[in-house]
Amino acid sequence: MDRPSPLRMLRGMILEHALLPVKPGTEPQFVEAFEEAKQIISAVPGFRSLSLSRCLERPGTYLLLVEWETLEDHTEGFRGSPEYQQWRRLLHHFYEPFPTVEHFEPVLGV
């Protein structure tokens, strides 16, 4: 039985990547706020999934990966929505400096 290739399964997906530098001492509050924020983003059209990971070498830095159907689902749909304003109110005050967000498309997979 042939398995579909991982790249074929990912084709069309966009991966948002953001390193989130959280102000020292606010990490527990950030994670708590993110629990609420993930409910907001997961209801947005075009959202597929997300993961939030903490850096081992720099515990105040988090890696956010969000899978979107299209780039526009994130840059126009989510960012132009009232839900994004809720997201901003919950999370943006934790960042210093403000994170850089980049988008990637699949090239290779295993």
Residue 107 in any domain: the answer is no
pLDDT at 41 over 80: yes
Sign of CA dihedral 66, 89, 19, 29: negative
- What is the tally of structural domains in the chain? 1
Residue 108 in any domain: the answer is no
| pLDDT recorded at residue 52 | 99
Element (H, E) at 56: none
| Residue showing tokens 């597929």 | 48
Q: Which domain holds residue 60?
A: 22-101
Q: What is the mean pLDDT of residues 15-38?
A: 98
Stated pTM of the model: 0.87
Residue 13 in any domain: the answer is no
Report the CATH number at residue 66. 3.30.70.100
Question: Which strands form 101-104's sheet, in the order they lie side by side?
Answer: 47-54, 61-68, 14-21, 101-104
Residue 106 in any domain: the answer is no
| pLDDT recorded at residue 6 | 47
